[in-house]
Structure 1
């Protein structure tokens, strides 16, 4: 099953409540994502607030075309879930 984000709502400090197509809902802290030149515009919280779900990509996007892989958002939302650690390692997300 491919993961897709079906809903997203900004909470605060780069935290986003997300709903996935597998039924799971969680809070992803995306502060780690906004480091580096590609994501520099997202450091402006007013711009970060402009996030939306792109209906074609089925993930979080911003008006300038930046998007975040749904798997990474899923990892950020559930990285402390011990049952998902093997899956995260398979995806290359490790602590």
Structure 2
């Protein structure tokens, strides 16, 4: 089984986008929009709820409430390294 770096920090930076810092120093951008058509992720369209995201106590993911969370593997595998994001003019 592949081991993924733990989540150190998470921040909602815009509607449905999270900035995540992993223990290995990588900073990534995760877009939650692909999940909002699935229950209970549809609750994340409420930005006030979305920005309440927290890191799991042990760093194995993030959560919003007892029924809504994402594992570190999902976040690490399906996010984009911030340094590789190219801003278009």
Query: Which structure shows the higher strand fraction?
Result: 2
Measured on the aligned residues, the alpha-carbon RMSD in Å equals 1.9
2:64 matched to which residue of 1? Answer: 62
Q: Which has the higher contact order (CA 8 A, sep 6+)?
A: 2
Which of 6, 22, 36 aligns to 2:8? It is 6
Q: How many residues align?
A: 79
Q: Which runs of 5+ in 1 are unaligned?
A: 80-95
Shift of the alpha carbon at 1:35? 2.0
Shift of the alpha carbon at 1:60? 1.1
Shift of the alpha carbon at 1:26? 1.5
1:38 aligns with 2:40: yes
Normalised to the residue count of structure 1, the TM-score between the two structures is 0.69
Shift of the alpha carbon at 1:77? 1.9
Distance 1:22 1:54 in 2: 17
Normalised to the residue count of structure 2, the TM-score between the two structures is 0.73
Shift of the alpha carbon at 1:28? 1.2
Distance 2:17 2:49 in 1: 14
Secondary structure at 2:29 match in 1: strand
